[in-house]
Structure 1
Amino acid sequence: MSNYEEDEEYFPTDMTFNKRLAATRSSLSMPRDRQVQMPRPSSSQQTVYRAPQILMRKPRTRECVVCLNEKSIADFGEVFSTICQHVERQICTDCVRENTIRIVNDRSTTDVRCPEQNCDAIFDFDTVRRILIDSNTSVGQFEDRLSKGCVETMKSFVWCAHRCGWGCQLDDSSGNIFTCRRCKQKTCAHHQVKWHSGITCAEYDQTLCSDREETKNQNWLKDHTKKCPRCNVSIEKNDGCDHMTCCHCKYEFCWICLADFQPIRIYDNKYHAPDCKYYA
């Protein structure tokens, strides 16, 4: 019988590859009494293999979230205020400076806030001056605004109404009038206006009410009436078309453009004003 036939008998055809491999290993295995036991190394002789440590290099640049330019990490290093709430700056120094200049030049506010996301810290004057030290922006006017804002929070402080730049803090015995030490002009401390000579503060209040009522009436007349182009009498348009007839002088005109209606009636709508909706 050939070796092939012997193999066929030794390995039946219905055996899987794994079973054949296991049978081969078992046939080649050495009896236990003839196996050589290899000595195991002691714990002190065992070699310990450790994975090599990978050193991660810190990035040298960062993208500013405002200008989107790649800047050196040094441009994000300084924390301008100790009360800032952000952990790491994402806005470069140039953009922080531009934002500070914009606020300093804005006369409507004196609060210079940190522009970083989720940080609402307000920079003090020394911080603002340090940020702007390399720019041509003067902080003198900003310092004046801070000073004025500080004194205006003082109780009973009044500026001179004559705009000389002087003010003072009044006490309870000062009354409603004070004389400026710089320009020597009088100011009403109660209304903070130029002193209303000849009338008391109560009378001045009545005058203000009358003036407000008069202003209100004038605004209503301006919005709801027009003056006749011929006799100048105020006319109120309640309803109807825009062909108006003055009840005082019987003059006919267009309510929209005030054009004389007589030529319009004869020569058509080309005699309306060019910007009138009836012009054709």
Structure 2
Amino acid sequence: MENPGLFTAIHRPGDKSPSQVDFVVRTPADLVRIQRQEAAEICNVFGMSMAHATMMLRTMRWNREKLIERYIDDAERVLRDAGIADIETDAARPTVLPLRHQLCEICFSNEPNVPMYALACDHAFCVECYNEYLSHKIQDEGLSARIQCPGTRCPNVVDEPSVEMLAHPVDYVKFQRLLLRSFVDENQVMKWCPAPGCEYAVECHTPQSALDSTVPTVKCRCGHEFCFGCGYANHQPCICNLTQLWLRKCMDDSETSTWISVNTKECSRCRSIIEKNGGCNHMTCRKCSYEFCWVCMGPWAEHGRTWYHCNRYGEQSSQAARDSQEKSRSSLKRYLHYYNRYANHEQSARLDHQLYLKTEKRMESMQQKSDLSWIEVQFLRDAVDTLVECRMTLKWTYALAFYLEPGNLTTLFEDNQCDLEMATEQLSGLLERPLERKSIPALRQQILDKTAYVASRRQILLDDTAEGLADGRWRFNMSLIN
């Protein structure tokens, strides 16, 4: 595959930071050109048609080196896996012939001069039946690269030239679109941009094996940033595995169960769920009126004046129960600490997106109240872009921090996190300030300086985390992960 180079709107080869990866954005025209180049090279090596070379490349997920190696070792198997019956017969196959002594195997037509078509397997069908068959496979089943011959259990695949000749134009257009889709889906170094309506694909050569030590964030030409590894929106600096664990944890009902186990108990008599809403340990079930002790769950009448010791149940068992509950409380409290901050930045980012609407009006107002041109007031939009980026980064720092083991490195990470958080709040405050004619020059300079500072602090945090992942410096709390 051709050298991917770099998407110059992001960075140049010599300017790449530790938290950045090389990638290139591909247009549909680029994808068609790449397919043709790949097939042409196989044609030159083995002297076969473009259609056959393309079919074999699809079977090998567009891995040219793997195809060459396999074809040299066992050409018959490669052809069979690609659905090619006979490479020489297929290449010299006639187009459409009138029916002479054969019947269509679908409609059994025997009318004279009915146009027929057959692959090298010689399963002959009239063009009209072939047309309907292809339309069903393309439009209803969404197939393209693996449309097999209509013959019963025939493994041969209908190649692209045959589809172009036999299918309706509207079916062939969708067929080509599906082929383009499958080219990216089957390609290990390409992925479609997940933004709604986007037609671009991104090529990135970061292997799956590197996802434990890097977050391959790419940016499409449509402006959408996403992780090439898992397809989620940009979640730097949290690696894919921890991101998925965190999202699953946030959605899992286990946290609700933890809260219930910490804050509620079952009535010993009727098994109703009871929540303690006061300080007194003397509990009365509203359903069955049973009176019991919240600490040991024993009958309240047996406690007398020394109820707070719970002597009848033994100090050891009572202490174990309290220790278990305290452990659950501590675990829940720790989770809520990180989750609340994660959710807060997520909500703030959504609210900051609303700033774009306000910013447009503020830019117009600033232009009217000062001598600044429309280009010169664009710093407000840049500031909002930076603010939203920082909110999303901070959001994921709390997901990562939840899994980090305590230590000096974690302390340094939290210091960088704190610096970025403080600077982000300061920038947010500056963007909310009212516009007064006299203060506009000073406010503009403050916002410019703070935007640059916030962006630099974000990059420092991302680069430091990326370097730590690459060097294996970070240690994760495996008890939380497992």
* TM-score, structure 1 normalization: 0.46
- Greater helix proportion: 2
Who wins on radius of gyration, i.e. which is larger?
Answer: 1
Whose relative contact order is higher, 1 or 2, with alpha carbons under 8 Å and at least 6 apart? 2
* TM-score, structure 2 normalization: 0.28
